[in-house]
Amino acid sequence: MVRGRLELGRVENKASRQISFSKRRNGLLKKAHELSKQCDADVGLIIFSPKGSLYEFSTSNCMEKIIDRYRQSSDAERVNKVQQDRPKKLSADSGTGFEAPKSPQRSMDDSDFPKKNLDELNQMEKELETALAMTMTRKTLLMMEMIDGLQEKVCITVSLRDNYVQQLRILFISSHRII
């Protein structure tokens, strides 16, 4: 027997909607688990129910590691995309008669700025957007590195604190034994 094509749309009945959510959530979690087992892939899945309950699945038992890896990957992809989208500098040899400025700042300092045509202004806008995207990406990467460094310092500090607490307990116990 072949199932009919199900029309996707919001389930209006509240009870049916909850049942549908539970079944689909369990199916999605099962598929994520199967994908991780069969393909040896790192999988992270986060689901929020309509009521705000959190359901998550991760193969490495640490969702934060997967999220950090995703952030690093998406930042690197953004940098690559920005570099690929960077406008090519035109030279006088290319026959266009227009040479793209070396930096957006130089273009805006030109005294003939009001005389620029639409193509030149569009070129300047693209260069500014590229420079801004690269700056934001670099800033994000630096901030993430700083956060990672601070998290390492927190771990070291917590470890030192635990060691000091353990030493104090030993001293306390040994001082009570003497009395």
Condensed to tens digits (0 to 9), the pLDDT of residues 51-103 reads 888 888 888 777 888 888 888 887 767 666 655 665 444 333 444 343 334 44
pLDDT, residue 38, reads 92
How many other C-beta atoms lie within 10 A of the C-beta of residue 150?
A: 10
pLDDT exceeds 90 at position 26: yes
DSSP string, 5-36: PPPPS---SHHHHHHHHHHHHHHHHHHHHHHH
pLDDT exceeds 90 at position 161: yes
pLDDT, residue 79, reads 62
Length of the chain, please? Answer: 179
pLDDT exceeds 90 at position 23: yes
Question: Do the Cβ atoms of 102 and 86 come closer than 8 Å?
Answer: no
Band (pLDDT 50/70/90 cuts) for residue 178 is low
pLDDT exceeds 50 at position 157: yes
Question: Which tens digit of pLDDT belongs to each residue from 133-152?
Answer: 888 888 888 898 899 889 88
Question: In percent, how much of the chain has pLDDT > 70?
Answer: 77
Give the integer Cα–Cα distance in Å for 98 and 104: 15
Question: Integer distance in angstroms from the first to the last C-alpha of the chain?
Answer: 84
pTM of the model as a whole: 0.41
